[in-house]
Structure 1
Amino acid sequence: MPHLTVEYSANLDGRADMERLCEQLLSAVIGTGLFEVGAVRVRALRADHFAVADQLPENAFVDLNFRIGRGRSAEEKRRAGEAIFAAASEVLTNLFQTPHFALSLEIREIDADFSWKKNAIHPRLRGQ
């Protein structure tokens, strides 16, 4: 259940390659070795309406919300977070050349008692 949601300000259209960002983030999550491939999801959602800091029109953001199931140590979560943040920072490096961009990441653990899933991808990838 590792789901990574990329929320970004609409003014990044044409300034950031969201497709590449999603691909690199997927690679980073899988590369940690902590998550089953068939469970990983990365999605980017554009925020059409936003207000950032001092409201200059060039202010922009990318917020990463990584939801995972319980069962990983603090060190494993830290390692995953560092890999994800490094991948995002690399893809978005040009945005840090201006004083108008903010990148954030939060890891949230999901309570399995209140999470329902049905996944037809797992059997295919597991060879079942």
Structure 2
Amino acid sequence: MPHLVILYTPDLDRPVAQGGSDMGALCRALAAAMRQQVDEAGKPVFPTGGIRVLAYPAAHHAVADDSDAAPAGGTPPGYGFVYLNLRMGRGRSAATHQAVGQALSAVAKAHFAPLLAARPIGVTLQIDEGLEVFDAKHSSLHPLFHKPAQG
């Protein structure tokens, strides 16, 4: 944990010149922003080995009034939507939640700025901190980022 899952309308997988977006670049930019976050004590908010950013196009979708569902002439649909959901473990302060949310929102807003200016698109970011009823982790990633202290 933390896991940032992005769900989006599949029209965003089109080339940028056709009204799409480079979702891989967005994932990398969001992961970089997550690595940069520090709490009030200056400690990293997220363990590097736990950061996951995953993006999935929706196999089926309807957005708003669905008036663009079958556009004429094969043009890309006019309505796009992106939902970003960050799920993190409990224990971080409200100030940290706000700082992380603002940082991730800024990355998403900058990434989608050209699309927001050119066509109807919605972008939603939510952060969830949950009460886990079961939590099992098996990973060989974390040791890669825990280097012994130099003496």
How much identity, in percent, do the aligned residues show?
A: 37
Which stretch shifts more, 62-71 or 89-98? 89-98
SS in 1 for 2:83: strand
Q: Does 1:31 align with 2:36?
A: yes
Aligned to 1:42: 53
User: Residue by residue, what CA displacement relative to the aligned partner does 1:44-88 show, whole Å, maximum 9, x if unpaired?
Assistant: 011021000011331111100000000101110010000001001
Query: Secondary structure of 2:67's partner?
Result: coil
Q: How many residues align?
A: 128
Query: In the alignment, is residue 64 of structure 1 matched against residue 69 of structure 2?
Result: no
Following the alignment from structure 1 to structure 2, what is the Cα–Cα distance between the partners of residues 112 and 125? 25
TM-score, normalized by length of structure 1? 0.94
Q: Residues 35 and 100 of structure 1: is their aligned pair in 2 closer, same or farther, counting only changes over 3 Å?
A: same
Residue of structure 2 aligned with 1:17, choices 22, 44, 51:
22
Unaligned 5+ segments in structure 2 are 15-19, 39-44, 69-77
Match of 2:102 in 1: 82
| In structure 1, distance between residues paired with 2:22 and 2:135 | 32
* 1:25 counterpart letter in structure 2: L
Q: TM-score, normalised by structure 2?
A: 0.80
Distance 1:62 1:23 in 2: 16
Provide the residue aligned with 2:62 in structure 1. 51
Would you identify which runs of 4 or more consecutive aligned residues in structure 1 move more than 4 Å?
none
Task: Specify every segment of 5 or more residues in structure 1 that has no aligned partner in the other structure, as ranges.
Answer: none
Amino acid at match of 2:12: L
Range 28-37 or range 76-85, more displaced: 28-37
